[in-house]
C-alpha cells in the first residue's frame, strides 16, 4: 500500500496552510489556515473493510520548562515524546482520497472543533491536553489540527501520517477516543499500512540544526 499527498513529498516541509501556526517576525507565530492535507492511496489489500489514519509528531520535547520562553532554546538532543495531531477512523473501504480541507479548513478553532462522529469518525488530538488550563484555548480538540512546534526548538519536527487498511468496518471505540485507543482496537486487524512523513519548524535556526540521537 502506498500513501501520497499533493501538498508535500515524503521528507519535505509541510506547507504553512496545512499547519496550526506559521512564523511571525513580531510575535514569533500566528495561527494559520490549519487545513488538513490531501491524500491518496493505492495497492489496497482486497479484503480491506475500512481504513484508519493517524498523524503523530514523535519530536515533541519531553521537558516543557523552556518551551516558547524568550531567551531560551530547546536543544535538538533533548529526549522527545509523541504528540497526536489527527485520529481518523472508519474510512469506508471504497475511499481512495481525502481532499485538502475536507476535515479542517476554517483555521484554528479556540476550544477545538467538533469533529466527525459518523463515518468516518474523528477522535481527540493532543491539543486537548496541551491547552488545558488556558482560559482562551482550552477545550476538547477533535479532528485535524496541524503542526505548531515550539518556536524556540532547534529540532525540525517530523509529522508521520500513517494509513492502516483494516479487516473490520468499524473500530470498537467511542466517546472521546484517542490514538492509543485506536491502536489497541486495531491489534490483529491490520492488513497493511503505509506512512508519509512531513517536516515543520517555526524556528529559522532549526534549518541548520541536526539531530543527535
Question: How does 117-155 read in b/e, with b if 16+ C-beta sit within 10 Å?
Answer: eeebbbbbbbbbebbeeeeebbbebbbbbbbbbbbbbbb
CB 199 within 8 A of CB 184: no
Residue indicated by cell numbers 516541509: 13
DSSP state of 142: B
State mean pLDDT over 115-143.
96
CB 160 within 8 A of CB 195: yes
Rounded (10°) CA dihedral 197, 200, 205, 210:
-10
Q: Could you report the per-residue pLDDT of 155-177, keeping only the tens digit for each? A: 999 999 999 999 999 999 999 99
CA 90/CA 72 separation, integer angstroms: 43
CB 175 within 8 A of CB 87: no
Q: Could you report the per-residue pLDDT of 27-44, keeping only the tens digit for each? A: 999 999 999 999 999 999
Q: Is the pLDDT of residue 210 over 50?
A: no
Provide the pLDDT confidence category of residue 207 given band limits of 50, 70 and 90: low
Q: Is the pLDDT of residue 23 over 60?
A: yes
Supply the pLDDT for residue 209: 44
State the cell numbers at 176: 472521546
State mean pLDDT over 170-189.
98
DSSP state of 208: G
Q: How many CB atoms lie within 10 A of CB 165?
A: 24
Q: Could you report the per-residue pLDDT of 60-92, keeping only the tens digit for each? A: 999 878 989 999 999 999 999 999 999 999 999
CA 179/CA 126 separation, integer angstroms: 9
Provide the pLDDT confidence category of residue 204 given band limits of 50, 70 and 90: confident
Q: Is the pLDDT of residue 212 over 70?
A: no
Match domain 2-207 to its CATH number in 3.90.280.10, 3.10.129.10, 3.40.630.10, 2.60.40.1120: 3.90.280.10
Q: Is the pLDDT of residue 116 over 80?
A: yes
Q: Is the pLDDT of residue 192 over 80?
A: yes
pTM recorded for the entire structure: 0.95
Supply the pLDDT for residue 211: 46
Q: Is the pLDDT of residue 106 over 90?
A: no
Supply the pLDDT for residue 39: 98
Q: Is the pLDDT of residue 206 over 90?
A: no
Amino acid at each position: 500500500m502506498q500513501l501520497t499527498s499533493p501538498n508535500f513529498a515524503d521528507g519535505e516541509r509541510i506547507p504553512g496552510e496545512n499547519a496550526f501556526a506559521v512564523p511571525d517576525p513580531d510575535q514569533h507565530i500566528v495561527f494559520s489556515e490549519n487545513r488538513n492535507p490531501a491524500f491518496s492511496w493505492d495497492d489496497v489489500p482486497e479484503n480491506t473493510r475500512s481504513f484508519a489514519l493517524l498523524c503523530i509528531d514523535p519530536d515533541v520535547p519531553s521537558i516543557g520548562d523552556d518551551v516558547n520562553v524568550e531567551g531560551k532554546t530547546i536543544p535538538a538532543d533533548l529526549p522527545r515524546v509523541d504528540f497526536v495531531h489527527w485520529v481518523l477512523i472508519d474510512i469506508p473501504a471504497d475511499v481512495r482520497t481525502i481532499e485538502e480541507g475536507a476535515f479542517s479548513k476554517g483555521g484554528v478553532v479556540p476550544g477545538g472543533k467538533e469533529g466527525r462522529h459518523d463515518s468516518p469518525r474523528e477522535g481527540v488530538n493532543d491539543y486537548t491536553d496541551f491547552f488545558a488550563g488556558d482560559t482562551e484555548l482550552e477545550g476538547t480538540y477533535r479532528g485535524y489540527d496541524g503542526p505548531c512546534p515550539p518556536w524556540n526548538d532547534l529540532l525540525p519536527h517530523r509529522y508521520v501520517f500513517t494509513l492502516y487498511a483494516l479487516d473490520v468496518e468499524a473500530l470498537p471505540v467511542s466517546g472521546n477516543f484517542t490514538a492509543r485507543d485506536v491502536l489497541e482496537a486495531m491489534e490483529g486487524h491490520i492488513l497493511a499500512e503505509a506512512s508519509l512523513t512531513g517536516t515543520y519548524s517555526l524556528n529559522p535556526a532549526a534549518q541548520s540544526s541536526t539531530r543527535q540521537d
